Amino acid sequence: MAVTDRRLIRETNFGLTGKLFRISWIYTLLLCALASVGYVALYSAAGGSPEPYAARHILRFAFGLGLMLCIAMVDIRFIARLAWPTYALGVALLVLVLRMGHVGKGAQRWIELGGTQWQPSEFMKIALVLALASWFHRASWERMGNPLFLIPPAIATLVPVALILKEPNLGTAVITAVVGGAVFLAAGMRWWKVILIVAAIGGGLPMAYNHLHDYQRARIDTFMNPESDPLGAGYNIIQSKIALGSGGMWGKGFLQGTQGKLNFLPEKQTDFIFTMLAEEFGLVGSLAVMGLLCLIVIGGTIIALRCRHQFGRLVAVGITTNFFMYAFVNIAMVMGAIPVGGVPLPLVSHGGSAMIMVMIGMGLLMSVHVHRDAEFGDGRDEI
Amino acid sequence: MKRETTRTDVFTRRALMIGGVQLAAMGVLAAKLYQVQVVEGERYATLAESNRISARLIAPPRGRLLDRTGTVIGGNRLNWRALLVAEQTEDASVTLDNLSRIVPIADHERARIEREVRRHRRFIPIMVREFLTWEDMARIEVNAPDLPGILVDVGTTRQYPFGPALAHVVGYVAPPAEADMADDPMMALPGIRVGRAGMEKVHDRVLRGRAGAVQLEVNAVGRVIRELDRQEGTQGQDVTLTIDNELQKSVQARLGDESASTVVLDARNGEVMAMVTNPSFDPSVFNSGVSQAQWVAWTSNRRAPLINKAAAGLYAPGSTYKMVVAMAGLEAKVISPGETISCPGYLDFGDRRFHCWSKYGHGGMDMRAALKNSCDVYFYEVARRVGIDRLAAMSNRFGLGVKLDFELPGTRTGLVPTRAWRAGQGKAWNIGDTIVSGIGQGYLQLTPVSLATMAARIATGRAVQPHLTRAINNVVQPGSKAEDWPNMGLQERGLQIARQGMWAVVNEGGGTAPLARLSIPGVQMAGKTGSVQVRNVTREQRERGFKSENLPWEFRPHALFVAYAPYDSPRYALAVVVEHGNAGAQAAAPLARDIMTDVLNRDPAGRRETQRVADKGS
């Protein structure tokens, strides 16, 4: 075996300089680009002013970026050891929020900490990814074939999903389940089991619908027929579509979006920030933003593929899928393609805790990348 | 070794698959975005425009009504209003309490304001009080710190500087009714007024103008962000009336307290120089709303201030009708001017006796003498010979009993009976009714404006129509020249006899209306009296030496006078009706003389060259 094959060289110098050298600066640049898009959008959402959104947004991102780089320096093996305690903390926080969280829009979702409202469900998704990756880290292909081996991680996934559903926060619960499912799939769960589970969920949906809260059901009903109640539940979707559509190919121009400026667009600095961009910069602008999001997803997948230990690969897939789900659900929601739920556009929407959580996830991803060649117990590849 | 490779291969495949599915999902969203933004873009762009743009109408100022000299008789004046903007005050009711200490606010008004505050968005101004005096406004401004949310602004309101004198001609404006809303969107504007009576109603469209529009950018809750476009409306056009305001006022002064009406026409073209009804009302009251007490006072007044007696009052014409009877006789060739009819004081027909006003009779009368003395028996006989239908036809040619082209709403046609009309009532015509028609009694019912028209047509021989519109937007309308009106096509001889008779009534010794003689040197008036009973006089009353002036007011006869002047070259014609004035010669003739004197002195038509119709009477 030739040592010139880069894949065969294990770079195990984990001195600080070496680690910094291994950080994917291109990937970091992509994140900065996305955050800049957020600055532009929030500047416009405030009617052409850095206050009150854009300036704080960029400060938070700077903080988040620092946090990401710090986490990237943390040895992935150390992180793996913290996986289950982190998971336990996540579940504890979810229970806590159900007990004493702030009630907003008919749901208990937030914990107030340091003047910011934190959603434990955001934290939980990352903790779940770590826990599942840790569980599957040692699992061989044969072991993945054993159904009994899959039961503990399945329970570990369903407990937080159930707790988030109980808040209730349908959107995040679904995203959590999908993120968990992606880790299962990447870990080598057999296809027939995947199909079985998907079929079971499909069959159970109508039943689930009956257990939804009224406002959740209203969202789904409105989604099916937005014009049925143009000034009520359907208002957001209709106004959002009007904004998107009136943007046309080239958009109305920076700060010229009438739907956003005149407040026809609801929550334009958070959930509907993409609509604002699409109105002002047209299809060209919105496709550019989507292209950037795709590059970040591709970058995450590349990091997963380049990692040499299962834990890192699964973490990378989970984090990337989590990022993708944010972006996809948000854009699909403002287009009226799926029922509206409070899912922000990562690194673009205004909101502190969501941004920090995304950057923590990115820090983990970067740690995977930095430590892609680490010797890692039973989980390492034997080539 | 092997198992690890398998696991890695599976991971690679699945990670690529997951990434691929994610990119594909983004691709689907991109396709959907293309659909919304480009394919359906136009539709959504339209929706976005209609979202943000709100078109609002702006009411142009209403056109003015002018008299023939250009004096404003219906104009706009500034209207100071207090408005309340709820969002600018913490507590609207405290503000209103403070305001009511400065200008009283009635309880029902207070309730309306609070209702509107609840109903409208908080930035929309709500009318609190209209028609503030300057003092009220000043006091509100001084107390402004205690009145957060109160703002004073100025609109316009209709003003009638001459009030009652012109009320019946000018009419009035009032808020539009539901029915008016449909045809003009401007009607929905707050504070808009439409013409409801008189010339305000006749020329409402012209006066109203066309609403302008502003395109405003509004936000989602309807607050105005900025003005995008403004199209000024077309201002309402001024309408010039034929009325001479000074003359109108002096005529009203002449009528004094009488329940009376007068129409003064330019005899050559039918322009109404003055049209006065007494008593009258203040038209501006309708603008702000009529109180119940005021309404009761008007409607219970037996002198009927709200009725324009000059155009809607119906009176038997009495002896003023005799010229028409004479001309009908000549036209029908049943009598010649020189033929004399003997008047013994009565005419027996069948078993009925028809009395002349002169108990002892006039003796032999030719046509001119019969007019001069107003001999009833002569005209009984002429009417009997002519027959009612030919009499009606001649009446119609003089504008009596036919619909005139007179603008004023509520003008009545009156009635000149015919056999067909009677048959329509299911009754046969009675010759006796023809006979009393000869002296303008019986079924005959005519308006003062039609009697003035008759006088003008006798004077000029032209079929003039009375009218009030002289010019719109300073463009003089057709009908202001004598040539605009066709010749009546009557025998000049008949008209001459009628004119001579009317001259003799006033100017010849023994005529019935010596009091109507003008004191202007070289100018003579021709006229005819009329006195019509409003209830029958029985034979016993007649034999007891009945005196109608002893009757209660409402049973006394009406006094009428029609006239034109100058006799030799007529310029003005008039009709005066004094309700329950007792006798035309005493009550109406002197009024007619004074009014005609005013008219001639003022000469509102200002016409030098005149049509000569007769030599000076001698």
- What is the tens place of the pLDDT at every residue in A149-173? 999 999 999 999 999 888 777 788 8
Residue A32: burial class (beta carbons within 10 Å; 0-12, 13-18, 19+):
middle
pLDDT of residue A152: 93
Say how far apart CA A317 and CA B108 lie, in whole Å: 72
- Please indicate, yes or no, if residue B544 is contained in any of the structural domains: yes
What pTM did the predictor assign? 0.61
C-beta of residue B272 within 8 angstroms of C-beta of residue B263: yes
Cβ pair B45:A304 closer than 8 A: no
Within A101-169, residue ranges assigned H as helices are 120-137, 141-144, 147-166
What six digits make up the tokens of B568? Answer: 């030799």
Residue A313 lies in a domain: yes
| B212, B241, B270 - which closes a domain | B241
User: Nearest CA of chain A to the CA of B31: how many Å?
Assistant: 10
Q: Which of B193, B215, B241 is the last residue of a domain?
A: B241
Mean pLDDT (chain A) is: 84
Is residue A290 in a domain? yes
DSSP structure class, residue B605: T
- Whether residue A311 contacts residue A134, with contact meaning beta carbons closer than 8 Å, is answered with yes
DSSP string, A22-69: HS-HHHHHHHHHHHHHHHHHHHHHTTS-STTTHHHHHHHHHHHHHHHH
Please state, in angstroms and rounded to a whole number, the distance separating the CA atoms of residues A221 and A224: 5
Residues in chain B: 618
In a domain, A320, yes or no: yes
Q: Do A335 and B36 touch (CB under 8 A)?
A: yes
The answer to whether the Cβ–Cβ distance between B10 and A188 falls below 8 Å is: yes
Same domain for B106 and B153: yes
Give the DSSP letter of residue B465. -
| Rounded Cα gap, residues B48 and B65, in angstroms | 45
Which of A255, A264, A322, A365 to substitute to test the interface with B, most B CBs within 10 Å? A264
pLDDT reading at B484 higher than 90: no
In a domain, A383, yes or no: no
- Looking at residues A167-186, what average pLDDT do you find? 88
Q: What percent of the residues of chain A are helix, what percent strand, and what percent coil, each to the nearest 5? A: 70, 5, 25
Closest residue on chain A to B220 (Cα): A264
Domain count, chain A: 1
Q: Residue B128 maps to which CATH number?
A: 3.90.1310.10
β-bridge partners, B212: B58
The Cα–Cα gap between B448 and B528 comes to 13
Report the alpha-carbon distance of residue B42 to residue B25 in Å, rounded: 26
The pair of structure tokens assigned to B603 is 């000469």
Q: Please count the residues of chain A.
A: 383
- Pick the residue from chain A with its C-alpha nearest to B41: A245
Chain A residue numbers touching B41 (CB-CB < 8 A) = 245-249
Other beta carbons within 10 angstroms of residue A256's beta carbon come to: 13
Instruction: Answer yes or no: is A10 within a domain.
Output: no
- Cβ contact, residue pair A242, B4, below 8 Å: no
User: The domain containing residue A224 runs over which residues?
Assistant: 15-371
In terms of Cα–Cα distance, which of A107, A165, A159 is closest to A128?
A159
CA–CA separation, B515 vs B521, rounded Å? 16
Please state, as a whole number, how many other Cβ atoms lie within 10 Å of the Cβ of residue B332: 16
CB B60 within 8 A of CB B210: yes
The structure tokens listed for B494 are 């008949």
Per-residue burial over B186-220, b if 16 or more Cβ lie within 10 Å, else e, is bbeeeebbbbbbbbbbbbbebbbbbbbbbbbbbbe
Residue A95 has pLDDT above 60, yes or no: yes
Q: What is the pLDDT of residue B539?
A: 59
Q: Residue B13: closest CA among chain A residues belongs to which residue?
A: A186
Residue B24 lies in a domain: no
Contacts of B23 in chain A (CB under 8 A): 294, 297-298
Test the A interface: residue of B9, B21, B37 with most A CBs within 10 Å: B37
Tokens of residue B365, six digits: 């009368």
Helix extents (H) in B510-588: 539-543
Are both B251 and B370 inside the same structural domain? yes
pLDDT for B377 beyond 90: yes
Q: Are A256 and A280 a contacting pair, CB within 8 Å? A: yes
Residue B32 carries which side chain, given as an amino acid letter? Answer: K
What is the rounded average pLDDT for all residues in chain B?
A: 85
**Arithmetic mean of pLDDT, B309-335:** 92
Distances (CA, A) of B275 to A7, A63, B1, B479, B574: 113, 89, 121, 18, 10
Return phi, psi of residue A293, to 5°: -60, -40
Q: What is the dihedral of CA B91, B95, B98, B104, to 10 degrees?
A: -130
Nearest Cα neighbor of B165 from B228, B251, B224 is: B251
The candidate with the shortest Cα–Cα distance to B377, out of B351, B336, B348, B350, is B348
C-alpha to C-alpha distance for A285 and B37, rounded to whole angstroms: 11
Tell me: do B168 and B218 sit in the same domain.
yes
Q: Is residue B71 predicted with pLDDT exceeding 60?
A: yes
Cβ proximity of B563 and B592 under 8 Å: yes
Q: What span, in angstroms and rounded, lies between the C-alpha atoms of B273 and B267?
A: 10
Is the CB of A245 less than 8 angstroms away from the CB of B7?
A: no
> Do the chains contact at A298 and B19, CB–CB below 8 Å?
yes
- For residues B199 and B266, state if they share a domain: no
Distance from CA of A115 to the nearest CA of B (A): 31
Least reliable range by pLDDT among B93-107, B256-270, B392-406: B93-107
Look at residue A4 and tell me if it is in a domain: no
Tell me, yes or no, whether B262 and B406 share the same domain.
yes
Higher pLDDT, B3 or B23: B23
In this predicted structure, the answer to whether residue B607 has a pLDDT above a threshold of 80 is no
For residue B283, the tally of other CB atoms under 10 A from its CB is: 27
Q: What is the pLDDT of residue B1?
A: 45
CATH code (residue B399): 3.40.710.10
Find all residues with CB under 8 Å of B271, minimum gap 6, and list them.
B68, B242, B265, B466, B467, B468, B470, B479, B480, B605
Report the residue from A305, A327, A331 with minimal CB separation from B12.
A305
Query: What is the ipTM metric for this complex?
Result: 0.89
- Whether A33 and A289 have beta carbons less than 8 Å apart is answered as no
Q: How far apart are CA B28 and CA B48, in angstroms?
A: 25
**Nearest-CA distance B60 → chain A (Å):** 30
A98: distance to nearest CA of chain B, Å? 32
Both B199 and B267 in a single domain?
A: no
Q: Is residue B45 part of a domain?
A: no
Q: Given a cut of 90, is residue A368 above it in pLDDT?
A: yes
pLDDT classification of B538: cutoffs 50, 70, 90:
low
Taking an 8 Å cut-off on Cβ atoms, the answer to whether A381 and B8 are in contact is yes
Residue B423 has pLDDT above 80, yes or no: yes
Q: How many helices (H) and strands (E) does chain A have?
A: 15, 3
Nearest to B448 by CA among B202, B277, B242: B277
Q: Is residue B27 part of a domain?
A: no
Answer yes or no: is B100 within a domain.
yes
Does A223 score more than 70 pLDDT? no
- Please tell me whether residues B236 and B256 are part of one structural domain: no
Residues of B in contact with A259 (CB under 8 A): 48, 51-52
Tens of pLDDT, residue by residue over B345-376, are: 899 888 888 988 888 888 889 999 999 999 99
How far away is chain A from the Cα of B8, in angstroms, using its nearest Cα? 8
B518 within 8 A of B524, measured Cβ to Cβ: yes
Same domain, B179 and B266: no
Question: Stretch B209-234: mean pLDDT, rounded?
Answer: 73
> What angle in degrees, to the nearest 10, is found between the helix axes of A170-187 and A310-334?
140
Question: Please, what is the angle between helix B322-331 and helix B492-507, to 10°?
Answer: 150
Q: Under an 8 A CB cutoff, do A286 and B37 touch?
A: yes
Please name the residue of chain B whose CA is at the shortest distance from the CA of residue A281: B37
- The answer to whether position A3 is within a domain reads no
Report the share of chain A in percent with pLDDT over 90: 45
Shared domain for B69 and B188, answered yes or no, is yes
Percentage of chain B modeled with pLDDT above 70: 91
Cβ-Cβ contacts under 8 Å, B11 against chain A: 186-188, 310, 313
What are the start-end ranges of the E strands in B70-135?
Answer: 72-84, 126-132
Please tell me the total count of domains within chain B. 2
Provide the angle, in degrees to the nearest 10, between the axes of the packed helices B448-460 and B322-331: 50
With an 8 Å Cβ cutoff, are B33 and A286 in contact?
A: yes
Report chain B residues touching chain A, CB-CB < 8 A: 1, 3-8, 10-12, 14-16, 18-19, 22-23, 25-26, 29-30, 32-34, 36-38, 40-45, 47-49, 51-52, 217-221, 225
Residue B201 is part of which domain span?
56-241
Query: Which of these ranges, A30-44, A82-96, A196-210, A364-378, has the smallest mean pLDDT?
Result: A196-210
